[in-house]
Amino acid sequence: MNSLLAIKSYGQQIWLDNLSRTLLREGGLKRLVAEDGINGVTSNPSIFHKAVSESPYYKDDLALLKGSANSAEARYEALVVPDVREACDILHASYLDSEGDAGYVSLEVSPHLANDEEGTVAAAHRLRAAVGRENVLIKVPSTPTSIRAFERLTAEGVNVNVTLMFSIRHQEAVAQAYIRGARNWVETGGDPRSLKSVASIFLSRVDTHVDKKLEAIGSAAALALRGMSAVSMSKLAYRRYQESFHGPAFADLAKLGVRPQYPLWASTGTKNSAYRDVLYVETLIGAETVNTVPDATLAAFRDHGVAECTVSKNTGEAQAHIDALAKLDINLDEVGEQLQIEGVNLFVEAFDKLLALME
């Protein structure tokens, strides 16, 4: 069996971390859905910058848009919203078959709004309306300001992919915001089954950052901890997810049919060539999770990945790893705060480069 299809038997969804007109016009996305069981797509400013820069299918529309009086951001949205809409249509059968649990396409608000609550809420509603598909997820970051926006959006029935999460501290704040927003939505008459949200926890950047700290320490004990921080954190995050959404805090909402907010493993392409190229897929397979995978990692797992339930295994070892880091004065919550700031800045940089293509 195709290893990617085998993952589905363990209750995990595999989403593609890429979107471009090349994928759409040349049938690539349809093939991935049909042959590999891909049942979701994520995008971000970096992905769209690469797509618009490299795909020939944007050339004519971009030339027309450049002649309009619209702002660069409005031109960008006019260029990519049809792509998101088309991807939503391709995945709509998955959305229907899963009764709204899968088949989503994510579109991100401007990263310049990361610290603008009102702007984030307004942009989310605007983009959702522009796409006009029930299986779109609007992406907002997990900065404190944007978490407040996320809670409001959930209370208003907007389905959200919360992104740029780098720690269990981020996960806890986002989970509580989802529960509060969902309760508000239901109490004001909203349909419990219509809500969908995922919490995107970034992995490879955590290991890149922590490994540098461990190498700077340089002891044998420190060096032995390299390459395991992101997976250890994620296994503990999954355990925390189960406590939050399969415990008393969510029980009343679950009875009404509100879906839990699945953990989504993001940034799952291995950046260190010394590590197995499917590290962040093989080690985190399990029920009620999503892994959004870039093309190269998808191909690697299809070729030699091993599918088995792993996310809930070795949690004791994961905790021991986190404890060992703490003894070396490496606090993953503090690492997460720094990485989130850097992540927002990187997305702003990519977004500005993308808008420059619209000029």
Between the CA of residue 102 and those of 18, 105, 146, 197, 298, what are the distances in Å? Answer: 17, 9, 24, 11, 18
**CA–CA dist 341, 114 (Å, integer):** 10
The DSSP code sequence of 97-123 is HTTSSS-EEEEEPPGGGTT-HHHHHHH
Residue 356 backbone phi and psi in degrees, to 5: -65, -30
Strands (E), the chain: 12-16, 40-41, 104-108, 136-141, 160-165, 197-202, 262-266, 289-293
Reported confidence tier of residue 69, pLDDT bands at 50, 70, 90:
confident
User: Using one digit for the tens of pLDDT, what is the confidence trace for 339-349?
Assistant: 999 999 999 99
Residue 325 has pLDDT above 80, yes or no: yes
**CA–CA dist 199, 286 (Å, integer):** 15
Residue type, 53: S
Reported confidence tier of residue 1, pLDDT bands at 50, 70, 90:
confident
**CA–CA dist 17, 106 (Å, integer):** 10
User: Using one digit for the tens of pLDDT, what is the confidence trace for 170-184?
Assistant: 999 999 999 999 999
So where are the chain's domains? 3-356
**CA–CA dist 174, 46 (Å, integer):** 24
Residue 264: per-residue pLDDT: 98
Structure tokens at 23: 């994928």
User: Using one digit for the tens of pLDDT, what is the confidence trace for 235-259?
Assistant: 999 999 999 999 999 999 999 999 9
Between the CA of residue 200 and those of 52, 75, 148, 237, 289, what are the distances in Å? Answer: 24, 27, 17, 11, 10
Measure the CA dihedral 87/89/92/94, to 10°: -40
Residue 92: per-residue pLDDT: 98
User: Using one digit for the tens of pLDDT, what is the confidence trace for 84-129?
Assistant: 999 999 999 999 999 999 999 999 999 999 999 999 999 999 999 9
Furthest-apart CA pair in the chain: how many Å? 61
139 an active-site residue? yes
Mean pLDDT over 1-22 rounds to 95
Mean pLDDT, rounded, of the chain? 97
The DSSP code sequence of 13-75 is EEEES---HHHHHTTHHHHHHHHH---EE---HHHHHHHHHH-GGGHHHHHHHHTSSS-HHHH
Structure tokens at 1: 């069996």
The distance in angstroms from the start CA to the end CA of the chain is 48
Q: What is the pTM of this model?
A: 0.96
**CA–CA dist 225, 222 (Å, integer):** 5
Mean pLDDT over 216-237 rounds to 98
For 292, what's the count of Cα atoms within 13 Å in the CB-facing half-sphere?
28
CA angle 216, 320, 165 (to 5 degrees): 70
Structure tokens at 131: 């796409």
Reported confidence tier of residue 295, pLDDT bands at 50, 70, 90:
very high
**CA–CA dist 133, 146 (Å, integer):** 23
DSSP helix/strand/coil, 156: coil
User: Using one digit for the tens of pLDDT, what is the confidence trace for 26-46?
Assistant: 999 999 999 999 999 999 999
User: Using one digit for the tens of pLDDT, what is the confidence trace for 45-65?
Assistant: 999 999 999 999 999 999 999
Residue type, 359: E
Cross-strand partners of 13: 290
CATH homologous superfamily, domain 3-356: Aldolase class I (3.20.20.70)
Name the catalytic one among 59, 66, 139, 327.
Answer: 139
Residue 137: per-residue pLDDT: 98
Residue 193: per-residue pLDDT: 97
Residue 165 backbone phi and psi in degrees, to 5: -100, 130
User: Using one digit for the tens of pLDDT, what is the confidence trace for 271-293?
Assistant: 999 999 999 999 999 999 999 99
Nearest to 165 by CA among 250, 267, 260: 267
**CA–CA dist 316, 323 (Å, integer):** 11
Nearest to 161 by CA among 89, 59, 263, 235: 263
Residue 253: per-residue pLDDT: 98
